[in-house]
Chain A
Amino acid sequence: MSDMTEIVKRISGVNPRKCMKCGKCSAACPAYDEMDYHPHQFVDMVENGRLEELMDSKGIYMCLSCFACLERCPRSVEPAKLIEAVRLAVVRQQDKNHLKPEQIPGLLDAELPQQAITSAFRKYRK
Chain B
Amino acid sequence: MTYSYFPGCTLKTKGKDLDIWGRASMEALGVTLEELPQWQCCGAVYPQAKDEIATKLSSVRALVSARDQGRDLVTLCSACHHVIKRVNCDMAQDEYIRTRANNYLQLETPYAGETKVLHYLEVLRDEIGFDKLKEQVKRPLAGRKIGAYYGCLLLRPSKELKFDDPENPTIMEDFIRALGAEPVVYAMRNECCGGYTTLENKPYAAKQAGKVLDNAANCGAAEIITACPLCMYNLKENGGGRLPVKYFTELLAEALGVKEAEA
Interface size on B, residues (CB 8 A): 44
Residues of A that sit less than 8 Å from B by CB: 10-13, 30-31, 34, 61-62, 64-68, 70-71, 78, 80-81, 84-85, 88, 99, 107, 109, 111-120, 122-124
Contact A115 B229 (CB under 8 A): yes
Contact A122 B199 (CB under 8 A): no
Contact B44 A115 (CB under 8 A): yes
Query: Would A34 and B199 be within 8 Å (CB), given that A68-B192, A115-B9 are in contact?
Result: no
Q: How far is the CA of A124 from the CA of B9 in the complex (A)?
A: 20
Residue numbers in A under 8 Å from B191 (CB-CB): 30, 66, 68
Q: How far is the CA of A11 from the CA of B55 in the complex (A)?
A: 14
Partner of B194, one of A11, A30, A70, A84: A30
Residue numbers in A under 8 Å from B194 (CB-CB): 30-31, 64
Q: Lowest 3 A-B CB distances belong to which pairs? A: A66-B192, A67-B156, A118-B44
Interface contact tally, CB-CB below 8 A: 127
Residues of B that sit less than 8 Å from A by CB: 8-10, 13-15, 41, 43-45, 47-52, 55, 77, 79, 152, 155-158, 166-167, 191-192, 194-201, 204, 208, 229-230, 232-233, 236-237
Query: Would A111 and B237 be within 8 Å (CB), given that A120-B199, A120-B200 are in contact?
Result: yes
Partner of B152, one of A10, A66, A113, A122: A66
